[in-house]
Structure 1
C-alpha cells in the first residue's frame, strides 16, 4: 500500500512550489514548533476525509490546505502558484484537484493571528 501522506507531500513539492516554500510542506493539524511566517511561506494540510477501503487501486482523500504568508498578497500568490503547479497535473502516482475554482478563504490563526489562505483539494493516489 502507498503511504498517502508521503504521496501527497511529494506531489505538492513541485519545483515552482518549492521555489517559494522550500521544504515547508507539512501535514497538520499544527504547524511545527518554531515556524513563523517571517521564515517564509509554508503549506500545511490535513486529510479531512476519503474512503476507508485501503485495498482500492485509487485512493481519493480530500484535504484542507492552509497556505501561510506574511500578508494577503503572499498567501494568494502561493495559492495561485499551487493551482498552476498542481491542478490536473500529476507525477504518475498522485494527482491533485481543487474542490472549487473559487478563491481561497483568508483566515487568521486564533492564537498568533497569522494569515493563511484555506482551500479544499482532493488527491487521487495510485495504490499499487
Structure 2
C-alpha cells in the first residue's frame, strides 16, 4: 500500500512550489510547532475525506490546502503558483485537481490570526 502522506508531499513539492516554500509542505491537522509566517510561506494539507476502501488501485482523498503567507498577496501568489504547478499534472504516482476554479477563500487562524488562503483539491494516487 502506498504511503498517502508521502505521496501528497512529493506531488506538492514541485520545483516552482519549493522555490517559494522550501521544505515547508506538511500534511496534518496543524502547523508544526515553531512555524510562523515570518519564517516564510508554507503549505498545510488536511486530508478531509476519501473512499473507505484502501485496497483500490487508485485512492482519491479530498484535501483542504491551506496556503500561509505574511499578507494577502503572498497567499494568493502561492495559490497561483500551486495551481500552475499542480493542476491536472502528475508525477507518475499522484495527480492533483482543484475542486473548483474559483479563487481561494482568505481566512485567518482563530488563535494566532495568521492569514491563509484555503482551497479544495482532490488527489488521485496509484496504490500499487
Please indicate the TM-score interval, normalised by the length of the shorter structure.
Answer: over 0.9
TM normalised by structure 2 equals 0.99
**CA distance, structure 1, for counterparts of residue 13 and residue 114 of structure 2:** 23
Distance apart, 1:65 and its partner CA: 0.3
**CA distance, structure 2, for counterparts of residue 110 and residue 61 of structure 1:** 26
Describe the SS at the equivalent of 1:2. Answer: coil
**CA distance, structure 1, for counterparts of residue 32 and residue 59 of structure 2:** 27
TM normalised by structure 1 equals 0.99
Once the two structures are superposed, residues 30-66 of structure 1 have per-residue CA deviations (whole angstroms, 9 ceiling, x without a partner) of: 1111100001000001110000111110000000000
Distance apart, 1:28 and its partner CA: 2.1
Distance apart, 1:15 and its partner CA: 0.2
* Unmatched tracts of structure 1, length 5 or more: none
Distance apart, 1:124 and its partner CA: 0.1
Q: How many residues align?
A: 128
Describe the SS at the equivalent of 2:89. Answer: coil
* Unmatched tracts of structure 2, length 5 or more: none
Describe the SS at the equivalent of 1:117. Answer: strand
Distance apart, 1:104 and its partner CA: 0.2
Residue 117 of structure 1 pairs with residue 108 of structure 2: no
RMSD (CA atoms): 0.4
Once the two structures are superposed, residues 86-118 of structure 1 have per-residue CA deviations (whole angstroms, 9 ceiling, x without a partner) of: 000000000000000000000000111000000
Describe the SS at the equivalent of 1:10. Answer: helix
Distance apart, 1:27 and its partner CA: 1.1
Aligned to 1:84: 84
